[in-house]
Amino acid sequence: MKKIVVLSLIALLVLAFGATAFAQAKKDEPAMQFKASGFIDALFNSYVNVTDGSGGAGIFDTIPGTFKRAASPNGFDENASYWATRARLKFDWIMGKQSSATMIFEMDSSQWGEIAGTGAQRNQMGQWAADRAAVEVKNVYFDFGVPAITVPITVRVGMHPLNIRPNLLVYTDGMGIIGSIKVDPANIQLIYFKPLEGTTWTADDVNVYGLHANAKVGPVTAGGYALYYNMNSYPFVAETASLPLFPAVSPTDNNADIWWFGAYADGKVGPVNLNFDFIYDRGTVERRSSLTSVRDVKLRGWTTRAKVDFPWEKLNFGVVGNYSSGADLKKTGARGLPGDPVAFNGGAPAIASTKVGSYIVPPGSEAGAIYGESVVMFSFGPNRGTSGIANSNNYTRVSRGGPGGTWLGKAYASFKPTPWYKVTVQGMYIGDTTKNGNTFGTAVKPTGLLRDDKDIGWEADLINEIQIYKNLSFVLAGGYLWAGDAMDQRIPLTLTNDSPKNPWQITGILTYSF
C-alpha cells in the first residue's frame, strides 16, 4: 500500500514537470493576484472542574489527578478564569487556476498576562510589555495543476494540513505531498506526509501514507479512506520518568504500525441533512530491544457517529449519536507502550499492557479540539477548542481525541429570528465505555482496584451567536454538567474518593475577520 502511494505521487510529479518541459510556453498566462486575510480574537473562559484544552493526555486519563490537568491539585472544585487571544494572517499568491502559493502565520496569547522571564515566548505574546517573539509559521505550501493531461490533477507540496474528517480523526499541520485526481463524479487523493526524519542513515523515521476517495451520488457525498502511520520511532520524542511507576522511554525503544479505515456520507436525504461516519483503527506497538519477554501491544478501536438536522423556516432541530469503544483497564497501560503496567491493579508491574481497545486518533491530531459537541464535557467549536474535559490530544503518541471511551446521545434546537442573531439550546447524556475502570474518573473500590462506572452525566448548554458587523462576531455560551459516578476522583493526598462539584463553563469570544 505505502509503495503504491509513494510511486503514484512520484509519477504525478514526473508528469507535471515532464509535461511542462515539452509543452509550448503559454501566451495568455493570468497575472499574479495577491490576497491577504485572517482574524484576531479575544476569548474569555470561566469554569469549575473543566480542563484547559492544551492537551498532553495520553491514551486515556486514568493517571491520578489528570481530571484537573493543567492545574494544581488545589484547583479541584475551584473557579478558573482567563482571557486568551489568537491572530492568524494568511497570504495567497494566485496565478489563475494553474498555480498558487500560500503562507499562514499564527500568533497566540494562551492566557493574557503570561508570566515573563521563563524564556518561553511561543504562545505568550500576552506577556506584559509585549515585544514577544511569538509569530509562528503555520503553513507554507504551493499548489499547481498538472498541464497537458486531460484528467484534472492538482498537487500540493509543503507544510500544510493533513485533514480527514477532522472532528473525529485527524487535523494536523506537517510537511507532505497530496495529489488530487478529479474523475467525475469521483475525487481521489494520494497522501504522503513526513512527521519525523530522525537520522537520515538509519530507519528511525516516521511516514504517513493515505488514500482518500469520495463521490457525489445524487444529493449525498459518500467517501472512504485508508490512512497508515509507519512509525519506526515511537513515541516521537523522549519521555521522562515524570509519571509514578512509569520508566523513561526513548523514541528508539519502540516502533508502531497503525492503520485507520473509515467511511462516511454527507448530504440531504428528503427533508433532513445527514452526516454519518464509521472509523476503525488497527495496529501494533512493538518493543525494539532484545527483551523478547515484553509482549507487543495491540490497538483495536472504533467509533461511529450520526447527525441528523431538520431545518424548518427560522428553526433547526437536530440529534447526534456517537459511540466510541473504550479500553479494558485490565489490559491497557496509561501510555499504551509495551512493558507498561496496566492501570487496573494500581500500576503493579506484574501485569503489563497488551491491548488498547479504546478508539484512538493519530499522534498530533487536533481532533479533540475540533470535536465540538458541547460546552463542558467536550470541546466547544466557537472558542477554538480551548477547553473541554474530554479534549485529549498528544503530539508524540496516539490519544483518545474527543470521543474515545465515551458514548453520547444529544438533541438540540436553534432559532434565528434575525439575520444577526442565533440561539441554540442543547442537551445530552454522556456514558462511559471503558471496562474495569473509568475513562475520566479515578475512584477505587475498598480493595484498591479501580471502580467501573457507566454514568458520566447529563449536560445542558445555551449558545448565543451575534453578528455585530459584517467582519465582527460575538459568541457567548454557557453549559452545566450534572456529573455521574464515572467522574469521581481518587484524591492522592488523602487516598479517598471524592465527587467533584458539577462542572460548568461560561465562554465568550469576539472575532474580527478580514
Per-residue 3-state assignment (H helix, E strand, C coil) for 213-231: EEEEECCEEEEEEEEEEEE
Distance from C-alpha of 310 to C-alpha of 319, rounded to nearest angstrom = 9
Instruction: Name 412's bridge partners.
Output: 318, 426
As given in the structure block, the three cell numbers for residue 56 are: 498532553
Judged against a pLDDT cut of 80, whether residue 147 lies above it is answered with: yes
Q: Are 415 and 498 in contact (CB under 8 A)?
A: no
Model confidence band, residue 66 (pLDDT cutoffs 50, 70, 90): very low
Residue that is written with C-alpha cell 431538520 in the block: 310
pTM: 0.90
Q: Are 258 and 296 in contact (CB under 8 A)?
A: no
Q: Which distant-in-sequence residues (6+ apart) come within 8 Å of 101 by Cβ?
A: 92, 93, 141, 142, 143
What is the predicted pLDDT for the residue at 247? 76
Mean pLDDT to the nearest integer, 438-451: 86
Could you tell me if residue 201 is inside a domain? Answer: yes
- What's the DSSP call for residue 442? -
Residue that is written with C-alpha cell 523515521 in the block: 205
Strands 297-312 and 355-356 turn out to be parallel
- What's the DSSP call for residue 309? E
Q: What three-state secondary structure class fits 188?
A: strand
Name the residue type at position 373.
E
Could you tell me if residue 26 is inside a domain? Answer: no
Q: Are 108 and 133 in contact (CB under 8 A)?
A: no
Distance from C-alpha of 503 to C-alpha of 457, rounded to nearest angstrom = 10
What is the predicted pLDDT for the residue at 118? 63
224-228, 268-272, 349-353: range with lowest mean pLDDT:
349-353
Distance from C-alpha of 302 to C-alpha of 168, rounded to nearest angstrom = 11
Handedness of CA 53, 54, 58, 64 (dihedral sign): negative
Element of type H or E holding 20: helix 2-22
Residue 12's CATH number = 2.40.160.100
What is the predicted pLDDT for the residue at 105? 98
Q: φ, ψ for residue 437 (rounded to 5)? A: 155, -175
Strands 455-469 and 421-432 turn out to be antiparallel
What is the predicted pLDDT for the residue at 349? 57
Higher pLDDT: 12 or 478? It is 478
Residue that is written with C-alpha cell 480493595 in the block: 447
Distance from C-alpha of 146 to C-alpha of 459, rounded to nearest angstrom = 51
Could you tell me if residue 157 is inside a domain? Answer: yes
What is the predicted pLDDT for the residue at 359? 95
Question: What are 106-146's pLDDT values in tens digits?
Answer: 999 988 998 876 677 888 898 888 888 899 999 999 999 99
Judged against a pLDDT cut of 50, whether residue 62 lies above it is answered with: no
Could you tell me if residue 285 is inside a domain? Answer: yes
Q: Which distant-in-sequence residues (6+ apart) come within 8 Å of 502 by Cβ?
A: 48, 49, 457, 480, 481, 482, 483
**Cα 57 to the center of its chain, rounded Å:** 12
Distance from C-alpha of 365 to C-alpha of 394, rounded to nearest angstrom = 7
Model confidence band, residue 486 (pLDDT cutoffs 50, 70, 90): very high
What is the predicted pLDDT for the residue at 290? 62
Q: Identify which of 434, 487, 480, 443 has the alpha carbon closest to the alpha carbon of residue 458.
A: 480
What is the predicted pLDDT for the residue at 17? 44
Strands 153-164 and 355-356 turn out to be unpaired
What is the predicted pLDDT for the residue at 419? 96
Question: What are 319-337's pLDDT values in tens digits?
Answer: 999 999 999 988 888 788 8
Question: What are 387-416's pLDDT values in tens digits?
Answer: 998 888 888 889 999 999 999 999 999 999
Q: What three-state secondary structure class fits 193?
A: strand
Model confidence band, residue 344 (pLDDT cutoffs 50, 70, 90): low
Element of type H or E holding 59: none
Average pLDDT over the chain, rounded to an integer: 86
Question: What are 269-321's pLDDT values in tens digits?
Answer: 999 999 999 999 999 999 887 666 788 999 999 999 999 999 999 999 999 99
Q: Domain limits at 88? A: 2-20+31-114+122-513
Could you tell me if residue 171 is inside a domain? Answer: yes
Model confidence band, residue 67 (pLDDT cutoffs 50, 70, 90): very low
Q: What three-state secondary structure class fits 22?
A: helix
Higher pLDDT: 429 or 397? It is 429
Q: How many domains does the chain have?
A: 1
Name the residue type at position 100.
S
Distance from C-alpha of 395 to C-alpha of 399, rounded to nearest angstrom = 9
What is the predicted pLDDT for the residue at 3? 52
Could you tell me if residue 25 is inside a domain? Answer: no
Distance from C-alpha of 377 to C-alpha of 80, rounded to nearest angstrom = 16
Burial 44-82 (b: 16+ CB within 10 A, else e): bbbbbbbbbbebebbbbbbbbbbbbbeeeeebbeeebeb
Higher pLDDT: 424 or 24? It is 424
Could you tell me if residue 318 is inside a domain? Answer: yes
Distance from C-alpha of 233 to C-alpha of 237, rounded to nearest angstrom = 8
What is the predicted pLDDT for the residue at 371? 96
Could you tell me if residue 173 is inside a domain? Answer: yes
